[in-house]
Amino acid sequence: MAIFKTMDPAHRRYVIRTNLFMAGYVAVNMAAIFGAFDKIIGESAGVVLGLAVAAPIAGQLWATMSLMNESDEFVRALTAKRFIAASGLAMALFSAWGFAESYGNAPHAPGWLIYPLFWGLFGLVSPFLKSSR
């Protein structure tokens, strides 16, 4: 809470938006895990459930874009740089895994893993990317 108070308004809005979208993401997933949607899982209607779970992800990416839009030029440039690095690494790693599945016997990795992988990599690259150049 103390950290939240020291944040600038753009970061405060980002934290609030992220928490709201992630609460939706967790709520729909938990409901699915505990059987609330068992009747449609595995059916065509399950696609709607998949889209419902993915919607907060799009929302969270919008929150990140809004942070960049509402921040000063340094924070905007640094966030963009980290975002691009993490996206590129996530795509490279996930593509490599996909090819390992296609050409080898690597176990199947579901597509939704790209999202936590991206944010994990974002956290990993951030301490190394501190300059906007």
Partner 1 sequence: MRNRLRDLRTERGWTQEQLGQGLGVSRQAVNALETEKHDPSLDLAYRIAVLFGRPVEDIFDNPHA
Chain residues that interact with partner 1, rule: CB under 8 A:
8, 71-75, 77-78, 130-133
Nearest distance from C-beta of residue 29 to partner 1, angstroms: 34
Q: How far is the CB of 133 from partner 1 (least distance, A)?
A: 7
Residue labelled with tokens 């699915």: 32
d(CA 65, CA 79): 9
| Closest to partner 1 by CB, 60 or 71 | 71
Q: Are 112 and 50 in contact (CB under 8 A)?
A: no
Phi-psi group of 107: left, alpha or beta (phi > 0 → left; psi -120 to 50 → alpha; rest → beta): beta
Q: Which is nearer to partner 1, 19 or 132 (CB)?
A: 132
Name which of 11 and 17 has its Cβ closer to partner 1.
Answer: 11
* Least distance CB 78 / partner 1 (angstroms): 8
SS3 47: helix
